[in-house]
């Protein structure tokens, strides 16, 4: 049953009961009022009858007088002597009076004898009708008591008429109550429906203020309070949603893995990095961390944090097959905030690699500097202690000169790498023809190439002649690559330099036919001071490469927004490929150049 129907039914029943009760009360009150009026009237008439008897004196005929008075007042009149004998009755013939029983002990007669007046109500033995009796004591007359009797059917008739009018009024009141209740329930339903619609709109997420006025009564007050509360909750939910979105964005963008468990050890929150590190499913649900986390050290840290401890960070091998290094740190959540623990996983592989590179760099620089310094110091001491023949002195000085040049070249390369790392190497980038640069580098290395009987073969594609680069820096790149190829190629070998178009890039290739590079060294060939096996590190002049040339090549190419890679098979040589931005050549301009 709807609220409106229940409200209408309740109000209508209450109004009906109120009208019915009021009608009954009116009837009871009216019956009592009529009873009192009839009693007063009957007593007054009895007094009047007694006065008439006293006026007529001893000569009066009681029975005739009773008949006369009864006809005038429309009531039964009875005259009784002092012994209780009925001497006159308006409804009993004179011949039957001796048969009427003695009235001396009738209730109204007893009361009249004691107080002068008496009233009684009982069913008449003569008429079998509920009758009201009023008796008055008569003085100075043979008749001692005058009694009047009136049937109560008159009262019932009057009450019945009033009841009829009351029922008509009751029906009219019920009809009016029905209409008013229907209208009131309709208005109440509209207001409650408005409140419900507003609540439904809030539940759907629309917290805009409604135009409707809820009123100033109790329902309006409750609706206004609920509206204000809902809007405040909506504002807080919006703020929480924004904060949650920010938190999700932060967690999603973090490189560190994050895992949050509640006080019972069940997963509450994980970010993509944490799921990837711990190999967790995308949907973890309300699952205990022991069921999903397979790393014993991480489980031990979480258990310690849930016990209230603050364990130190430790390194954990999340994937024994990989070379990654992770640090796990757990922080307990305060009990006032619900308890639990937060696990943070950091991948420190790059840090460790950078630290190792730094260590290797320091060690390599120390080694590269210590070796020539030791040789120089040794030969200088030998010359100082015991100068030999001019030939030996000249030999020692040549060795000292060679090692000092090696130190100079090492320091120069280190300073250049430092400038490249700091972005201090100034590049004059513009349109550059590749073939003149190759010929210039070939000319610089002509003496070394002729000494080993090596030749440079150039294959410059028509659509890959111009590129955007700094000619001087491009020459440095080519010099390092050609010098590297010349040093590690066999005598009488051939070095190929070629270009071809690769999309919007120029691919510059330098290939040799030397011993090649082992596959395990290809990924590290451009690292500083990294040197492969002795077949590749031993130069043509007998010196050992410092391992900085290819590092400089990689830095210079990166400064040109390019890339460099190497491909090699042991025994078949090595091929270095450099990709640099291409300069588009206009067809008309190219035709004019060819005609010229």
DSSP code of residue 95 = G
Contacts of 89 by beta carbon, 8 Å cutoff, 6+ apart? 63, 66, 76, 77, 78, 79, 97, 100
352: tokens are 């460790």
Q: Cα(539)–Cα(411) distance, rounded to whole angstroms?
A: 19
Pick from 416, 404, 355: which is nearest to 380 by CA? 404
Q: Name the nearest CA neighbour of 547 among 531, 533, 568.
A: 531
HSE of 206, CA atoms in CB hemisphere, 13 A: 8
The helix (run of H) or strand (run of E) holding residue 282 is none
200 burial class (0-12, 13-18, 19+ CB within 10 angstroms)?
exposed
**What is the crossing angle of helices 390-422 and 549-559, to 10°?**
30
Helix (H) or strand (E) holding 96: none
Residue 11 has a pLDDT of 67
Task: Provide the residue-wise pLDDT of the chain in tens; the chain has 596 residues.
Answer: 565 566 667 766 777 777 777 777 777 777 777 777 777 887 888 777 777 777 766 666 777 887 888 888 778 888 888 888 888 888 888 888 888 888 888 888 888 888 888 888 888 766 677 888 888 888 777 788 888 888 877 667 776 777 777 778 767 777 777 777 777 777 777 777 777 777 777 677 666 665 556 566 666 777 777 777 777 777 787 788 888 888 888 888 888 889 888 988 888 888 888 888 888 888 877 888 888 888 888 888 888 988 888 889 888 877 766 677 888 889 998 888 888 899 998 888 878 777 777 777 777 777 667 777 888 888 788 888 777 778 888 888 888 887 787 777 777 777 777 777 777 677 788 888 888 888 888 888 888 888 888 888 888 888 888 888 888 888 888 888 888 888 888 888 888 888 888 888 888 888 888 888 887 777 777 877 766 544 444 444 445 555 677 888 888 888 888 888 888 888 788 889 999 888 765 544 445 454 44
- Could you give the 3-state DSSP secondary structure of residue 54? helix
For 101, residues 6+ apart whose C-beta sits below 8 A from its C-beta are 125
121 membership: H or E segment, kind and range: strand 117-123
Going from the N-terminus, what domains does the chain have, and what CATH number goes with each? 29-158 (3.30.450.20), 254-347 (3.30.450.20), 352-421 (1.10.287.130), 427-593 (3.30.565.10)
E strands along 144-227, which residues? 145-151
Which DSSP symbol is given to 283? -
Rounded to 5 degrees, φ, ψ at 541 are -85, 10
pLDDT of residue 546: 59
* Cα dihedral 430, 433, 438, 444 sign: negative
Q: Write down the pLDDT at residue 348.
A: 83
Q: Please list, in sequence order, all residues whose beta carbon lies within 8 angstroms of the beta carbon of residue 294, skipping any fewer than 6 positions away.
A: 278, 279
What is the C-alpha to C-alpha distance for residues 400 and 379, in angstroms, rounded to an integer?
7
* Backbone torsions φ then ψ of 460, nearest 5 degrees: -100, 115
Helices and strands in the chain: count of H runs, count of E runs? 16, 17
The CA distance from 280 to 270, in Å, is 9
What pLDDT sits at residue 320? 65
Assess contact for 316 and 349: CB atoms under 8 A: no
State pTM to two decimals: 0.45
Number of Cα atoms under 13 Å in the Cβ half of residue 425: 22
**Structure tokens of 427?**
């590049």
Whether 485 and 511 have beta carbons less than 8 Å apart is answered as yes
CA 105 to chain centre: 96
Tally of CA atoms within 13 A in the half-sphere of 109 that contains its CB: 19
Q: How many CB atoms lie within 10 A of CB 586?
A: 9
pLDDT of residue 429: 83
From 313, 580, 578, 304, select the one nearest 429 (Cα to Cα).
580
- pLDDT value at residue 214: 59
CA distance 118 to 146: 11
- Is the Cβ–Cβ distance between 560 and 550 less than 8 Å? no
Rama region for 450: left / alpha / beta (φ>0; ψ in -120 to 50; rest) = alpha
Say how far apart CA 250 and CA 245 lie, in whole Å.
Answer: 8
Q: Which residues contact 586 (CB under 8 A, 6 or more apart)?
A: none
Taking the C-alpha atoms of residue 427 and residue 420, their distance in angstroms, rounded to an integer, is: 10
Non-local (6+) Cβ contacts of 439 within 8 A are none
Query: For 507-561, what is the HEC assignment?
Result: EEEEECCCCCCCHHHHHHCCCCCCCCCHHHHECCCCCECCCCHHHHHHHHHHHCC
Residue 257, strand partner residues = 345
pLDDT of residue 278: 84
Question: 297, 327 in Cβ contact below 8 A?
Answer: no
Cα–Cα dist 39/77, whole Å: 15
């Amino acid at each position: 049953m709807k609220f409106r129907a229940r409200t209408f039914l309740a109000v209508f029943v209450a109004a009906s009961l109120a009208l019915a009760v009021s009608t009954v009360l009116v009837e009871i009150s009216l019956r009592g009022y009529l009873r009192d009026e009839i009693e007063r009237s009957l007593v007054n008439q009895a007094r009047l009858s007694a006065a008439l008897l006293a006026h007529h004196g001893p000569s009066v005929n009681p029975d005739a007088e009773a008949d006369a008075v009864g006809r005038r007042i429309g009531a039964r009149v009875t005259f009784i002597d002092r012994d209780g004998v009925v001497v006159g009755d308006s409804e009993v013939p004179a011949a039957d009076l001796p048969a009427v029983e003695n009235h001396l002990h009738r209730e109204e007669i007893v009361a009249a004898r004691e107080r002068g007046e008496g009233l009684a109500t009982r069913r008449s033995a003569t008429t079998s009708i509920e009758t009201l009796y009023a008796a008055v004591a008569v003085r100075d007359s043979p008749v001692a008591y005058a009694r009047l009797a009136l049937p109560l059917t008159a009262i019932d008739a009057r009450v019945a008429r009033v009841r009829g009018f009351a029922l008509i009024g009751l029906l009219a009141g019920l009809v009016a109550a029905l209409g008013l209740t229907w209208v009131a329930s309709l208005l109440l339903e509209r207001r409650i429906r408005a409140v419900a619609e507003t609540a439904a709109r809030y539940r759907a997420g629309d917290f805009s203020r409604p135009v409707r006025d809820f009123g100033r009564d109790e329902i309006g007050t409750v609706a206004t309070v609920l509206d204000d509360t809902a809007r405040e909750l909506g504002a807080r939910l919006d703020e929480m949603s924004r904060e949650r979105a920010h938190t999700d964005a932060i967690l999603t963008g973090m490189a560190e893995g994050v895992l949050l468990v509640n006080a019972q050890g069940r997963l509450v929150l994980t970010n993509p990095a944490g799921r990837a590190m711990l190999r967790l499913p995308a949907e973890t649900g309300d699952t205990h961390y022991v069921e999903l986390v397979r790393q014993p050290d991480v489980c031990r840290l979480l258990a310690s944090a849930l016990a209230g401890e603050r364990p130190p960070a430790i390194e954990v091998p999340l994937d024994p097959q990989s070379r990654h290094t992770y640090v796990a740190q757990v922080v307990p959540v305060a009990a006032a905030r619900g308890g639990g623990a937060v696990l943070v996983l950091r991948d420190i592989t790059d840090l460790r690699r950078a630290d190792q590179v730094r260590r290797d760099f320091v060690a390599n620089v120390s080694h590269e500097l210590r070796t020539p310094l030791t040789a120089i110091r040794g030969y200088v001491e030998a010359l100082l202690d015991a100068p030999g023949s001019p030939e030996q002195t000249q030999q020692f000085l040549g060795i000292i000169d060679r090692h000092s040049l090696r130190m100079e070249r090492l320091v120069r390369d280190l300073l250049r790498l430092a400038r490249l790392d700091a972005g201090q190497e100034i590049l004059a980038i513009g349109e550059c023809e590749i073939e003149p640069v190759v010929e210039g580098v070939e000319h610089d290395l002509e003496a070394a190439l002729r000494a080993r009987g090596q030749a440079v073969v150039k294959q410059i594609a028509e659509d890959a002649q111009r590129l955007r680069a700094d000619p001087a820096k491009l020459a440095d790149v080519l010099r390092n690559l050609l010098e590297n190829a010349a040093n590690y190629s066999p005598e009488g070998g051939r070095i190929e330099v070629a270009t071809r178009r690769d999309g919007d890039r120029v691919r510059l290739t330098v290939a040799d036919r030397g011993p090649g590079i082992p596959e395990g060294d290809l990924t590290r060939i451009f690292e500083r001071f990294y040197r492969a096996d002795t077949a590749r590190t031993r130069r043509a002049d007998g010196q050992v490469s410092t391992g900085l040339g290819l590092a400089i090549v990689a830095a210079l190419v990166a400064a040109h927004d390019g890339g460099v890679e190497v491909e090699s098979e042991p025994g078949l040589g090595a091929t270095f490929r450099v990709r640099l931005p291409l300069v588009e050549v206009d067809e008309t301009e190219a035709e004019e150049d060819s005609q010229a």
